[in-house]
């Protein structure tokens, strides 16, 4: 499993409640790979490279809490390693139906990945 630890030197804050956290270089997350992102508050996200498009979701499966960043990514579908639940990482939808994952916008800027939380 890959892992990103956000660069807090680049932690940005504006007047709203949206924060953009720099998580690392896009080239470090190749197509078809996923990685865990540890947030400053201890929470975790999962970030995915789907054919060059980056997506981020909460990291813990809503079934029993397995880390989705350790699941199997096939196209835009992540399969949880514990019991096989599947989610579309583009929108968080459970396949075919079930609890939805929270998703987060990913920004690619000059080769650097940022997630809005
Ligand atoms: S914990 Fe993910 S399917 Fe059970």
Q: Is the pLDDT of residue 14 over 50?
A: no
98-116 tens-digit pLDDT = 999 999 999 999 999 999 9
16-69 tens-digit pLDDT = 566 889 999 999 999 999 999 998 888 999 999 999 999 999 999 999 999 999
Q: What is the residue with the minimal CA distance to atom 4 of ligand 1?
A: 83
The closest alpha carbon to 52, from 73, 77, 33, 24, belongs to 33
What the chain holds in terms of domains, given with CATH numbers, is 2-116 (2.102.10.10)
Specify the pLDDT at position 8: 44
Q: What is the residue with the minimal CA distance to atom 1 of ligand 1?
A: 64
Q: Looking at residue 60, what DSSP letter applies?
A: B
Give the span between the Cα atoms of 105 and 37, in whole angstroms: 14
For residue 100, the CA-to-ligand 1 centroid distance in Å is: 13
Backbone angles phi, psi at 26, to 5 degrees: -60, -35
Q: What is the CA radius of gyration of the chain?
A: 13
55-100 tens-digit pLDDT = 999 999 999 999 999 999 999 999 999 999 999 999 999 999 999 9
In the block, tokens 């949206």 appear at: 18
List residues near ligand 1 (CB under 6 A). 61, 63-66, 80, 82-85
């Amino acid at each position: 499993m890959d892992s990103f630890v956000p660069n807090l030197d680049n932690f940005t804050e504006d007047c709203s409640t949206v924060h953009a956290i720099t998580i690392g270089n896009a080239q470090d997350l190749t197509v078809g790979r996923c990685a865990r992102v540890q947030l400053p508050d201890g929470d975790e996200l999962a970030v995915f490279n789907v054919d060059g498009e980056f997506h981020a979701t909460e990291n813990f499966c809503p079934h029993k809490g397995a880390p989705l960043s350790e699941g199997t990514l096939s196209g835009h579908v992540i399969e949880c390693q514990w019991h096989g639940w599947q989610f579309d990482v583009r929108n968080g939808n459970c396949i075919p139906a079930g609890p939805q994952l929270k998703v987060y916008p990913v920004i690619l800027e000059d080769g650097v990945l940022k997630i809005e939380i």
